[in-house]
Structure formats: C-alpha cells, structure tokens
Structure 1
Amino acid sequence: MQAPSARIDVTKVGFGWLAIVRIGLVQASIGALVMLATTVLNRVMVVELELAAAIPAGLVAWHYAVQLARPLWGHASDKGGSRTRWIIGGVIVLAAGGLLATQATLLMATAYVPAFALSVFAFALIGMGVGAGGTSALALLASGVAPDRRAAAAAVTWIMMVAGIVVSAITVGALLKPFSAERLMWVASGLALTTITLTVLATYRLERQAGQFGDAARGGAAPDLRAALTEIWNEPAARRFSVFIFISMIAFSMQDLILEPFAGLVFGLSPGESTQLGGQHQGGILFGMIVTGIGGSAFSGNRPDSLRIWVVCGCLLSAVGLGALALAAVSGPPWPLGPNVFVLGFGNGVFAVAAIGAMMRLAGAGEKTREGVRMGVWGASQAIAFGLGGLAGAAGRDAALRVLGDQGQAFQLIFSIEAAAFVLAAILAVRATGGTAMKAGAAYETREIYA
C-alpha cells in the first residue's frame, strides 16, 4: 500500500521561518511594553514614591484579571477571518495603556486618589491589549505553522520575545540615567511609538502567507464558545495541562514585582541599575531558551514525552536560583546578585520553552475547537496565575515585613515559598507533560500531516 504523502496541498504549506520571525517581533513588542508596567513603574511606586508593594501588585493583578477574557478574544479571531487586526489593535491598546499608566504613576506623588483611579483604567487597557494581541498572535502561529514545526516555531518566537524584553530593559535602564519624571515620560512615549511601528511592519501581508491545518483546513465552522470550552474541559490531557500551567506560572511570577524593589531596598541599586538587573534575569531566560531549543530532543517528534525532562529540570533549577536569592536576602552585598539572577532566569527559560512546546502540540489537538480558543484558555490560566502570583509575592512581602520587621527576612520568606512552588510544579509536570498527556497532540499532528 502506498504511504500517504505529507501536505501535498499548496494551501497547507504555511509559514516559513521568516514569517515565524515576524510573529516573534510582535511578541517582542508586547513583552517590551509589559516590561515598562511591571518592572519600571512597579519600582518607581515602591522605592521612589514609597508606596506599599501591594499597590502596584494589585494593579498588575488587575491587568491579569482582565485577561480572563482571552478565550473570548481567541474565539473572535477564530471566527472573524482576520487575526492581524486583533494583533495590531491589541498592541495599540497596550501602548496607550502603558502611557496612561506612566502618567498616572507620576501623578501619584501629588494627587494620589485620581492618579490611582487613572492607573486602574490604564492597567485594564494593558490587560486588554496583551490578551487580544498576544492570544491572536499565538493562534496565528499555531494555525499557520505545520505541526512538525510548531514547537520549534514557538521556541523561536518566545526567544525573540525575551530578547525584546532584554533589549528594552537594558535600553530603558540606560536612558533613565539620571532618573526624572520628565525623562520617564519621554522614554515611555518612545517605546510606545517604536513597538506600534514594529508591529504594523511585522504583520503587513503576513496572514495571507499562512496555510490552514486541522479543522480550518477542511472548511469546518468553528463551534460556539460554550461548546468549545466544554470540549477542552472534557479532555483529560488539556485539563491536567491547565492545572500544571496554573501552578508553574504562580511560581514563575511571585518574584516579578519584588525583584527590583529587593535590589533597591536590600542592595541599594538605583532605578536604572535595578532595571538592568531585570535585564540580566531576562538574559538568563533567553540563554535557557536557546540551550533548550538547541538540545534537539525537546522538540524531536519521535517521543511524545520528550519535553518532560526539560520541563522538570527547568523547574528544579529555578527552585535552586530562588533558594540562593533567599540566602542573598539576609547576607546582602557583596553577594553576586547579577549571576544569581541570571541562573534563576536560565532555569525559567529552560522550563518556559519546554512548556510552550507542549502547549503548541496540544493547541491543534481539538476535534472541533480551533487554536484561538485553546490558546485563549491556557492564556487565561496563565493570566490568573500571574496575577495571583505577583500579588501574593508583593502582599506576602508586605505582611512578612510587618511581622518580622526586617526587609531581608521578609524577602527571604517569599523567595523560599516560591522555590517550594517550583518543586511542586516539577512534580505536576511529570504527568502533565508525560507520554499519556502528549499522545493526543501527537495523534492529531499525524492526522493533520496526512490529511
């Protein structure tokens, strides 16, 4: 019997590597804008304005709460016939929210109540922009890339996103020296203009190059949202993976809003220096992603569970980095803070690429659901976890400071809890990314290749 030939239909050719890189530029733009809100503005509120860490943490949690609507935006891009307009529109809304959040932060020193109200609105815009633009970009990637390239394509785009965060963090940190309110506003405006322009150029005529795989390729209509969510919830593999994403992303995000204040309060770093420290963390993430991608076995199609060892090792290495930070919190200078943060980032990067590869494999595994809804569900799970994790880290630090009365001991407690959460995530990953969980994705990839 003659073996079936793979993707002989020209409509199934899909994205080449240049198109994948262009989606990576969109991800880099989104990451750079989020970096401004979650690192720079967070630092200014806690250190320069001397506000409780729970205030910026609450705002960041609010922007994640808004992202609970990710399945709605993913479903809309599935049915609307154009993901590009959702991507560009999302980045524009995100940039506008970043500018409003910057202005509101600067107003907090003189008019706190109206400034805080403006911040709530601004961070809602940030959440809407990230949800609409990010979900649509990942859905375009999943639906426009052939199944045998999905994991590698996800790694490339996320490496580029982290590279964008690193470059923007280092650049913004340098431009903020010496720090002033006027300088911060100018830098934020330049970042917004640059990212919008880059997104428009990157997506120009991009969507017409995409092939169609799975249900979309056969012309089937996307189901309504309730039916799509029911199908996903009834899949054991998708449900277990959602739980793993939730726990691991709580562990991933608990230090997000306290790392730069920690550097300023315990190690005495300036705003520019602490922003560059954040860049070192992102640099470690980037290096970890590259190493994991080059490792090859993480993305080999021979074994459905080939991602598992990378996820587990990334989680455990992240726990080690956080344990070291817990020691740094009570020892202070001359602890090698930069290398410590880089190691933490490296573990985060190894974990992230492997988890993203698993997510991309499962994204096309639906009988009826399209990639937009499925990526939206996991994006919503991630958003909830990020919001809760960031808020728990910052609020926990405030509570620990009141009880313990010492900055170093308060930070030590939070870093230790986060390390324990990563160990739990490693345990959950054994089942969530094992052979049984991944076989569904592999089976559907085979179905699509030979359709």
Structure 2
Amino acid sequence: MTHLSWLSIVRLGLVQLCLGAIVVLTTSTLNRLMVVEAALPAVLPGLLVALHYGVQITRPNWGFRSDSGGDRARFIVLGMLALALGGFLAAFGFVVMTSAYWPGLAVSVLAYALIGMGVGASGTSLLALLATATHPRRRAAAATITWLMMIFGIAVTATVVGKMLDPYSPARLLELVAAVGLIAVTLTVAAIWGIEARHGGMEPPREARQSFRAGIAEIWAEPRARHFTLFIFLSMTAYFMQELILEPYAGLAFGFTPGQSTQLSGAQNGGVFVGMLTVGIAATGLRIGSLRAWVMLGCAGSALALTVIALAGQIVGGGALLLPATIGLGVFNGMFAVAAIGSMMALAGEGRGAREGTRMGLWGASQALAAGFGGLIGAGAVDLTRQFTDTASAFGFVFVLEAGLFAAATWMASRVIDGRVIDAQRQPGLIHMVAGE
C-alpha cells in the first residue's frame, strides 16, 4: 500500500470542508431562525442538534467497519448524501413548523437523525482512511490540514449564506440549503474518486476482524486512549456550549438580523482557522512552545473571551465588543482544538495494531456526545434563567458557566498533557501528545 501524497490529503480535506458547510447551516442558521424569527424555545433546536450528535454514538462501529476492510469510499459518499438530504429536510421542516408545528417537528426529527448518520458514516470513514493510508510522520499534519479545511468551509458558508439570506424568506432558505448540499455531494465524489483504490487496498490483519465488542474493549483498556477520551469529553463540552446560543444572543440582546448573526458565526469560525494556523506555524515551523502551553493558552483565552461576551450585554454600547470578542473566542478555540486533533491522529496509530478506525471512532463519539450535551445544556440553561432574569443576563450567565468549564479544562490539560517542547525533527507533523497514567 502506497501512502497518501500531500495532494491526496488535500483532496480528502475537501470532504471535511463539505461536512462543515452543511452542518453549519443546521447548527447555526436554522437554530437562530427557530429561536428568533419563530420565537421557539432555545431548548428545541438544542434537542434536535443533540439528536444529531447522539446518533453519532455509532461512530466507533463505522470505524471498526473500516478496520475490518469495509468500503470506505462508499461509506464516505453515502454518508454525504444522507447529510445533504438531512440538511434540506431540516430547512423544510423548519418552514413547515412555522405553520404546522407537529408535522414540521416530525420532519425535523427525521432530518437531524439523517444528519447525525451522515456525519458519522462519512466523517469517521474519512478519518480512518487518513489514519491508515497516511505515513506516520504525516498523520498529525494531515489531521490539521483537513480540519483547517473544514473550518474554512464553515466560515465561508456561514458568511456567504448569511449575506444571501437577507432579506429572509422561506423560499430563499430552501434554495440556499439545497444548493450547498448539491455542491457538497458533487465535490465529495470528485475528491474521493480513485483514492481508496490506490491507497487503501491492503488486507486488514486477522485481529482486525474480531467482534466489535472485543475490539472496543481492547481500546478502552489502553490507559492513554481512555484518558484522552475523557479529556476530549470535558474540553469539547466547554467548546460546544455556546454553539446554539451565540446567534440568538446576538439577535435578542443586540438586534442583529439573521444575516448579521450568521456572519458573526462566520467571523468566529474564521478566528478558529487563524488560531489553528498560528499554532501550526509556531509549533511545527518555529518550534515555539510546548503542547501543554498551547492547549492551556487556548482554554484560558477562550474563558476570557466568553467573559467579555457575557459582559457586553451588561454595559451600554457593549454591542461594539461582541464582534472582536467573538473573533477572539474563535482564535483561542482554534489553538486548543488543533492540539487535540493532531494528538488524535498521532495516538490513533499507537497501542494495539489495526485499530486506527476504532480509536478515531471512539474519540469522535466522545466529541459528538460532548457537543450534544454541551449544546443542550447551554440552550436549556438559557431557557431556564430567562424565567428569572432579563435576556442579556440569562445568556451572560451561561457564557460565564462555559468560561468556568474552560478553566477546568485548562487545569486538566496541565495534568494530562505532556509538557515537553515539540521537536519537529524527532516528531514531524504538527504536535504530539502523551496522556499519562
């Protein structure tokens, strides 16, 4: 089996770009429309997004199928088709919900289940292909490249769709979501075409063909894999708590239009891109700082930015702080996330052999559950606190709570992540993480 070239890695990154482009419409734009335009409780989109994350508990199984010699390209394409269909049905369900609540809700439930299945099948199979077909010296860098492309897709889609969505109309919403889905499927087929035939045809070892239960038990018995799973859950819960409430906060507390709040989300994800790129250049090219320092800086900086976002709603003229604080949150989120992503790819090839896909699936499931849990807790806490205080204070309380979780993640990083300075000569790629006993 030949290893992936840099061009092939970038091609696979296009699939991640497409995943982000569709998902941002369902977790960001539709969420804001439900809460602000339709005046629905924030917990409703929170539950729907939690459903799509909950379905991704199947990620370890998708990864195990890849380890067992499954057709990864087929899973990637079919997963993207399911995701595109789910995205369109989610928009259609929202439109129906505004005039016929229960039928629209039924369509939305089906849609978000399809979205979760599509992300799980396509995303995990893609990462498994990357983990097995990428040279070990390039794994961390490959993970970073593909994730940066996903963030780029999110930022560009949120910005472009945000501008085209004003003035808002249901017909315009459906047209835009359908167009994004069609482009994503077409680009995915073109990106994946022929790659697995050249790079993924090696027969899996016999041990990879044992039962799924036995395989996942072996991974969980590895202390490094288990501790990293717990770290991912805590940090990603903090990471995703603001996902469902930032745009409604901008609309309700500062009067942002749907297009303006969607562009705010695009600015945040643009900041994530800059944060990831900064760490990639500094840690790999310039060998500045240790992994522990970058992760702790990302978590602590995120906590500070969230505090400023919360305070913006409490002071006169605070709206001027929202955009720069949101961009800052994105930058620090990116610094934290890139360390976890590169570590995930590096650790996927460690421990018992022929388990790259299963490990990626386990960590992906941990991230998905944390994302669903964090998003639901954030939305539910806003609904609850709005019963006792004004809107700006209710959102501010949740942002401060999220800042506290990031502070806890900063402490955990100091205990779990090795503090050695990255050595680009000994460990090519972006970063290297060692989770202690």
TM bin (shorter chain)? over 0.9
* Displacement after TM superposition at 1:77 (Å): 2.1
Deviations 1:396-425 (A, max 9, x none): 001011022x01110110000000101111
Aligned to 1:107: 96
Q: Percent identity?
A: 49
Deviations 1:188-217 (A, max 9, x none): 11001000001000001011332689x94x
Count of residue pairs the alignment pairs up: 423
Q: Matched residues in 1 for 2:134 and 2:201: separation?
A: 8
* Displacement after TM superposition at 1:228 (Å): 1.4
Report runs of 4+ in structure 1 exceeding 3 Å deviation.
218-223, 297-300
Q: Matched residues in 1 for 2:316 and 2:195: separation?
A: 49
Aligned to 2:50: 61
Equivalent position to 1:146, from 131, 135, 146: 135
1:30 maps onto 2:15 in alignment: no
Aligned to 1:428: 412
Alpha carbons 1:222, 1:368 under 8 Å: kept:
no
* Displacement after TM superposition at 1:224 (Å): 2.1
Q: Matched residues in 1 for 2:419 and 2:165: separation?
A: 48
Aligned to 1:331: 315
Aligned to 1:448: none
Q: Matched residues in 1 for 2:92 and 2:349: separation?
A: 41
Alpha carbons 1:151, 1:356 under 8 Å: kept:
yes
**Residue identity opposite 1:367 in structure 2:** R
Alpha carbons 2:208, 2:355 under 8 Å: kept:
no
**Residue identity opposite 2:40 in structure 1:** L
**Residue identity opposite 1:311 in structure 2:** V
1:317 maps onto 2:304 in alignment: no
Alpha carbons 2:382, 2:398 under 8 Å: kept:
yes
Q: Matched residues in 2 for 1:412 and 1:121: separation?
A: 33
**Residue identity opposite 2:339 in structure 1:** A
1:258 maps onto 2:242 in alignment: no
Alpha carbons 1:299, 1:306 under 8 Å: kept:
no
Equivalent position to 1:290, from 261, 266, 277: 277
Q: Matched residues in 2 for 1:381 and 1:129: separation?
A: 17
Equivalent position to 2:386, from 369, 394, 401: 401
What CA RMSD, in Å, does the superposition of the two structures yield over aligned residues? 2.2
Aligned to 2:116: 127
1:189 maps onto 2:173 in alignment: no
Alpha carbons 2:77, 2:188 under 8 Å: kept:
yes
Aligned to 2:346: 361
Equivalent position to 2:196, from 204, 207, 211: 207
Within 5 A, what are the aligned runs for 1:378-393?
A: 378-393=363-378
**Residue identity opposite 1:240 in structure 2:** H
Deviations 1:355-406 (A, max 9, x none): 11111111111314421111110011111100010000000001011022x0
Q: Matched residues in 1 for 2:126 and 2:208: separation?
A: 20
Q: Matched residues in 1 for 2:148 and 2:379: separation?
A: 27
1:224 maps onto 2:211 in alignment: yes
Q: Matched residues in 1 for 2:240 and 2:160: separation?
A: 23
Q: Matched residues in 2 for 1:92 and 1:111: separation?
A: 27
1:85 maps onto 2:74 in alignment: yes
Equivalent position to 2:4, from 7, 15, 19: 15
* Displacement after TM superposition at 1:76 (Å): 1.5
* Displacement after TM superposition at 1:296 (Å): 2.7
Deviations 1:223-266 (A, max 9, x none): 32112111111111111111110000000000000000000001
Deviations 1:21-79 (A, max 9, x none): 11110001000100010011101100000000000000000111100011111111222
* Displacement after TM superposition at 1:310 (Å): 1.4
**Residue identity opposite 1:356 in structure 2:** I
Aligned to 2:225: 238
**Residue identity opposite 2:397 in structure 1:** L
* Displacement after TM superposition at 1:330 (Å): 1.4
Q: Matched residues in 2 for 1:212 and 1:361: separation?
A: 22
Q: Which structure 2 segments of 5+ residues have no match?
A: 430-437
* Displacement after TM superposition at 1:331 (Å): 2.1
* Displacement after TM superposition at 1:323 (Å): 0.9
Q: Matched residues in 2 for 1:65 and 1:188: separation?
A: 23
1:411 maps onto 2:398 in alignment: no
1:280 maps onto 2:262 in alignment: no
Instruction: State the TM-score, normalized to the length of structure 1.
Output: 0.90
**Residue identity opposite 1:210 in structure 2:** H
Alpha carbons 2:35, 2:41 under 8 Å: kept:
yes
Q: Matched residues in 2 for 1:28 and 1:407: separation?
A: 34
Aligned to 2:433: none
For the residue of structure 1 that corresponds to 2:320, the secondary structure is coil
Deviates most, 80-89 or 427-436: 427-436
Equivalent position to 1:345, from 326, 330, 333: 330
For the residue of structure 2 that corresponds to 1:178, the secondary structure is coil
Alpha carbons 2:252, 2:391 under 8 Å: kept:
yes
Alpha carbons 2:291, 2:419 under 8 Å: kept:
no
**Residue identity opposite 2:366 in structure 1:** S
Q: Matched residues in 1 for 2:206 and 2:110: separation?
A: 40
